[in-house]
Amino acid sequence: MIRTVLIDDEIDSIKILQKLLGSYCPQVEVVGTAEGVETATTLIHATRPDLVFLDIEMMQGNAFDLLNRLQPINFQVIFVTAFDNYAVRAFKYSAVDYLLKPLDINRLVAAIEKISGNFEKENVLAQMKMLLENLGNISLSDQKIAIPTLTGLSFVALGDIIRLEAKGGYTAICMVDKQQILATRNIKEYEDILPPKIFYRVHNSHIINLQKIKKYQKGRGGSVIMEDNSDIEVAIRRRDEFISRLLK
């Protein structure tokens, strides 16, 4: 059983989540609920759960205030929020699970199944640490992203990524130190996650870091020479938008 705590400042939301878990996730045992930072801190210390469902806003603070109090984190977290806001991108960077209200049953079940077979304390600690650092870091280039690989997770700064290249259902991520990381996500997922202020998909197979371009060469669509000296084609249909981005 997955010993679970539910934290939300809305009692009705706790009741709904508890009912859904009871109906669709028999492997989950709810061992307590709380509505605020103070009571949640006491509850988590007392029950030592495997999993915490954590609403972003709560009494006496928010989810991140609570996590800062509880460092080091030794439980899985699924964030719950009513808003697709600034924090959601940070969740994606850190590869942590989140659910939007109203809750979708299929996403809830999928999140629980993922946790059931994947509790690695070291990864949880690293993901939570990176999440909290990213939320306090104003500079996008300094923020970090968790990259799922065949052997675990790699944590890299956005500013250290030169380019991403599609490799079937995988993505090769090329770094400033010449390291190449093979991610188990496809390139479309990275197009959705990465900040458009820094990254641009110039071709079906390539996303580049706009801050790592050495030179643009004219042609039908043209091409860019990156800091690793790779020569990346720009798709004709993307050329005009790409050039306008360069000139901003």
- Domain match, 104 and 64 both: yes
Looking at 83, 114, 135, the residue that finishes a domain is 135
User: Residues 128, 95: contact at Cβ < 8 Å?
Assistant: no
pLDDT band of residue 74 (cuts 50, 70, 90) is confident
User: Residues 64, 132: contact at Cβ < 8 Å?
Assistant: yes
Domain that holds residue 152: 144-246
- Domain match, 36 and 92 both: yes
Looking at 110, 135, 160, the residue that finishes a domain is 135
Structural domain total, the chain:
2
Q: In Å, what is the CA distance from 207 to each residue of 32, 190, 242?
A: 45, 8, 12
Task: Name the residue with tokens 């798709």.
Answer: 235
CA 111 to chain centre: 14
Looking at 111, 135, 159, the residue that finishes a domain is 135
CATH number at 236 reads 2.40.50.1020
The C-alpha R_g of the chain, in whole angstroms, comes to 21
pLDDT band of residue 96 (cuts 50, 70, 90) is confident
- Domain match, 124 and 233 both: no
Burial class (CB in 10 A: 0-12, 13-18, 19+), 169: exposed
pLDDT band of residue 190 (cuts 50, 70, 90) is very high
pLDDT digits (tens, 9 = 90+) for 193-248: 898 888 999 999 999 999 999 999 988 889 999 999 999 999 999 999 998 888 87
CB count in 10 Å sphere of residue 123: 17
Distance, CA of 195 to CA of 204 (rounded, Å) = 17
pLDDT band of residue 131 (cuts 50, 70, 90) is confident
Highest mean pLDDT among 35-39, 66-70, 128-132, 206-210 belongs to: 206-210
pTM beyond 0.75 = no
pLDDT band of residue 23 (cuts 50, 70, 90) is very high
Which pLDDT does position 71 carry in this prediction? 81
33's CB contacts (< 8 A; 6+ apart) are 5, 6, 7, 8, 14, 18, 43
User: Residues 182, 212: contact at Cβ < 8 Å?
Assistant: no
20's CB contacts (< 8 A; 6+ apart) are 103, 105, 108
- Domain match, 207 and 242 both: yes
CATH number at 20 reads 3.40.50.2300
Which pLDDT does position 107 carry in this prediction? 92
Is the pLDDT confidence value at 138 over 60?
A: no
Average pLDDT, integer, range 67-95? 79
